[in-house]
Amino acid sequence: MSAKLNFTTTIHGADGDRRIDVLGREAWALLELVEAGSRGCTPIDNPAPRWSHYVWLLRGDGFKVETIDESHAGPFAGSHARYVLHDDVTLDGGNLAEWRPNGVRYPAKHEVAA
């Protein structure tokens, strides 16, 4: 995979559907959030250098992403963010099939993309 991840997202809302093209790490973060469903993502479980920036970009595109502060113990005790997507979305197009050849693993409310 040499090309940046890119695809089109459809946000399904009460006022109708809205399509947004996403690219690169923003697309990766959205894909991770969609596949995580209601449990959400943390930088601990889904390592990436700039989760807060990716979420900022997604919010700028109109996605509803909640930030939940969580404490963690251990030798480096502190807190981290858990990000949860609250939009009903579908993903398609671009090079999504190269990144997820078996289809996107949507939460239960969606069918797996072919």
Q: What is the pLDDT of residues 66-104, one digit of tens each?
A: 999 988 888 988 888 999 999 999 999 999 999 999 888
Mean pLDDT across the chain: 89
The pTM score is 0.86
Q: Is the pLDDT of residue 52 over 90?
A: yes
Give the pLDDT score at 113.
41
Is 10 in a helix, a strand, or coil? strand
Q: How far apart are CA 113 and CA 9, in angstroms?
A: 13
pLDDT reported for residue 109: 55
Residue 108: what pLDDT? 56
**What is the percent of the chain with per-residue pLDDT over 90, rounded to a whole number?**
68
Q: How many CB atoms lie within 10 A of CB 52?
A: 11
